[in-house]
Chains A and B, each alone.
Chain A
Amino acid sequence: DSGVTQTPKHLITATGQRVTLRCSPRSGDLSVYWYQQSLDQGLQFLIQYYNGEERAKGNILERFSAQQFPDLHSELNLSSLELGDSALYFCASSPRQGEGGTQYFGPGTRLLVL
């Protein structure tokens, strides 16, 4: 158990809908990262937050957004969903310093868009 929690574990929805994925980082970690794992694209970085502020953006679509709250949990919002958004979405957290940039991953949320 990495200490990173994600809910829900599974999500099934329809095209055009909006969903929210939730992540709680390890105790004491200020950084949260979101990654998407799909069969055709592999593991891709979406976005990072540090202590409530956006710090880095990767291949995140404009239909997707995220935020980190004062209690450090984060939410990833996916809107106008398309079939191609079906994937496993991971959240990771990292310590403030040290450990060579190690990121600890949650169990993921599996999204299926029908």
Chain B
Amino acid sequence: EAQVTQNPRYLITVTGKKLTVTCSQNMNHEYMSWYRQDPGLGLRQIYYSMNVEVTDKGDVPEGYKVSRKEKRNFPLILESPSPNQTSLYFCASSLRPGGSGYTFGSGTRLTVV
């Protein structure tokens, strides 16, 4: 089944403890992206990747890192999480940048206390 898989689905952590949210797609998509969803603010892009080893900042990149060493994986790294990063996170992919539809993962609900 074609899909985007995120792990974990739920995570509660403490301020300052480094964490990684994994994202993997099995559709050979070039483009991958991370979004966060907050009440009243909708979905906002954090980082995106046009292809392997090509990443760039979205609208709200502060406090996050990403890497794209392989085409299928695009992990989101929080080096020192803070409470304002409590949110619902989504990974998405598309076949190529622009012009095609996006497939989203099921989401990761992160709580930082």
Chains A and B come from one and the same complex = no
Q: Which B residues are closer than 8 A to A by beta carbons?
A: none
